[in-house]
């Protein structure tokens, strides 16, 4: 079961310098923002990972890590680990791929000239806007192009014949999750299929059916009482609290008694 969480406005200790005093630590409220992915196994085991973003590529990354957690064959685990290390492209790599696949400069200039000719009677502002669209479409900073490259790269890595064949002999993961649009994208369905993961969605507007919500509530309640100076400390403390609250059998009982009868 999963949840991604923003933890905001944490107490932080700032070093302040006052007349006659040095290194005075004052408690202030500061926004430290992190994304976390948590999963609770039906048998009571739990895992939690920091996420770079809440976007599709980050969710695909945690699905790969989740698959690694519950894969027995060590060769397949090593293969998944290699894939995980190369899953997310850097911005520089994305720009280079876009540049390599861009049409030649002559073709681009020809399209601009055609656009100028076809729209020569437009006013200056309108013509500038239309030409700007051409430039933005071919730019290495085009968000749609960047996402296409990122997601295509992930699918290419996972669409590995050896990996897919090996995972057929592993136990299928039935993954229960909510209805965030990212979770329901065609890309995520394809990633899950390649990893032998079945996605089972909660009923709409039913977060109370997900026992892991209690783990996040507990973590947030206690993390706010701590004084934390860095994002790294926030991540470490959040993970520790999450694993603490999910280590017993109470969430397992909640799953059996509340969730399974209503959803499955």
Q: How far is CA 250 from CA 3, 43, 215, 254, in A?
A: 18, 11, 11, 6
Sign of CA dihedral 185, 187, 192, 193: positive
What local confidence, expressed as pLDDT, does residue 244 receive?
A: 84
pLDDT attached to residue 137:
66
pLDDT at 229: 85
Q: What is residue 198's predicted lDDT score, i.e. its pLDDT?
A: 92
Instruction: Return the sign of the alpha-carbon dihedral for residues 143, 146, 152, 157.
Output: negative
Query: Tokens 């519950």, residue?
Result: 70
Q: Which pLDDT score is estimated for 82?
A: 95
Give pLDDT, residue 48. Answer: 86
pLDDT of residue 214: 77
At 152 the pLDDT is 95
In this predicted structure, what is the pLDDT of residue 2? 59
Q: Which fold has domain 2-70+171-263?
A: Nucleotidyltransferase; domain 5 (3.30.420)
Q: How many CA atoms lie within 13 A of 165 on its CB side?
A: 4
| 10-residue mean pLDDT series, the chain (264 residues) | 66 70 73 84 77 86 92 95 94 85 66 75 76 67 86 96 94 86 92 94 79 81 86 89 76 59 55
For residue 73, what are the β-bridge partners?
none
The residue extents of the domains of the chain are 2-70+171-263, 92-145
Output the six-digit token pair for 48.
């939690």
What gap in Å lies between CA 25 and CA 36, rounded to an integer? Answer: 29
What tokens does 35 get?
Answer: 């994304």
pLDDT at 67: 93
- Residue 242: per-residue pLDDT: 86
CA 208 distance to own-chain centroid: 23
Whether the model clears a pTM of 0.85, i.e. scores above it, the answer is no
Q: DSSP readout, the chain?
A: -EEEEE--SEEEEEEE--TT--SEEEEEEE----EEEEEE-TTS-EEEEEES-SSHHHHHHHHHHHHHHT---HHHHHHHHHHHHTSSPPHHHHHHHHHHHSPPHHHHHHHHHHHHHHTTTS-HHHHHHHHHHHHHHHSTT-HHHHHHHHHHHHHHHH--HHHHHHHHTSPPEEEEE---GGGGSHHHHHHHHHTTEEEEEPPTT-GGG-THHHHHHHHHHHHTTSB--SHHHHHHHHHHHHHHHTSSSHHHHHIIIIIHHHH-
């Amino acid at each position: 079961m999963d949840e991604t969480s923003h933890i905001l406005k944490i107490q932080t200790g700032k070093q302040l310098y006052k007349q006659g005093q040095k290194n005075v630590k004052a408690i202030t409220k500061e926004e430290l923002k992190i994304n976390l992915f948590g999963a609770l196994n039906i048998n009571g085991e739990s895992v939690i990972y920091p996420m770079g973003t809440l976007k599709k590529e980050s969710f695909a990354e945690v699905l790969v890590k989740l698959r690694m957690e519950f894969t027995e064959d060590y060769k397949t685990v090593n293969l998944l680990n290699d894939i995980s290390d190369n899953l997310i492209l850097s911005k520089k790599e994305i720009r280079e791929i876009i540049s390599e696949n861009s049409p030649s400069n002559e073709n681009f200039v020809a399209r601009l000239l055609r656009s100028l000719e076809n729209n020569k009677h437009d006013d200056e502002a309108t013509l500038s806007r239309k030409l700007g669209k051409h430039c933005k479409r071919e730019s290495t900073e085009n968000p749609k192009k960047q996402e296409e490259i990122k997601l295509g790269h992930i699918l290419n890595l996972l669409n590995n014949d050896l990996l897919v064949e090996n995972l057929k002999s592993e136990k299928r993961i039935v993954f229960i999750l909510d209805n965030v649009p990212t979770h329901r994208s065609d890309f995520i369905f394809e990633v899950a299929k390649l990893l032998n993961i079945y996605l089972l969605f909660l009923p709409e507007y039913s977060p109370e059916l997900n026992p892991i919500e209690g783990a996040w509530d507990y973590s947030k309640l206690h993390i706010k009482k701590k004084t934390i100076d860095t994002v790294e400390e926030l991540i470490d403390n959040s993970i520790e609290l999450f694993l603490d609250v999910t280590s017993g059998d109470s969430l397992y009982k909640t799953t059996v008694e509340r969730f399974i009868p209503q959803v499955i």
